[in-house]
Amino acid sequence: MSLTPKTVPRKLPIDAVESAANTFTAGTINLPNKKGEEFFDVDRVEIVCPAPTPNGANTNAFVDVQLIKANETPTAMLQASDDNLLYFCRVRATYGANSELVLVNRLEVSPRHEGYLEPVANDKLYWAIKQTNGAAAAAARGKLLGSVDSMSKTQLTTILLNELE
């Protein structure tokens, strides 16, 4: 199969940074320009999120990062069962009594899109980040990989209606 401008893979940057420590923060990922019967197909998400440092007497701290498909900027983290959740990552750090790092655990879930068509008919996705028990604002960086493709008007209408529900 030869690559056409529509099927050329795209790497879009994700730069999720909390506005302040332990504060829900969301931002926008603008997708490539699409027209008519085109959509953006999410293929893979790659996120790098350093282990958080806990504040004060806490020995555990964690950072949640999400990639969300929605019609407007999210105001809170989504539940794992939410159909609008494309990607979820939690990095948890556990420290010992002398502040030494004991364990870093990373849970990464891409509930629906890995290996499947994940069409996004509108022109943006959202990232969200929230840290708990952190000493400083958390940051996660990475990339969203996907491509622009096309479908019939009937298929596109069905996707748009599902996104409005």
Q: Confirm if 31 and 40 have CB atoms less than 8 A apart.
A: yes
Query: Picking from 25-39, 47-61, 93-107, which range would have the lowest pLDDT averaged per residue?
Result: 93-107
Helix (H, G, I), strand (E, B) or coil at 81: coil
Q: Give 125-153 pLDDT, tens digit per residue.
A: 999 999 999 999 999 999 988 888 777 77
More confident residue, 34 or 158: 158
Tokens at residue 134, please?
């952190």
* Residues β-bridged to residue 16: 140
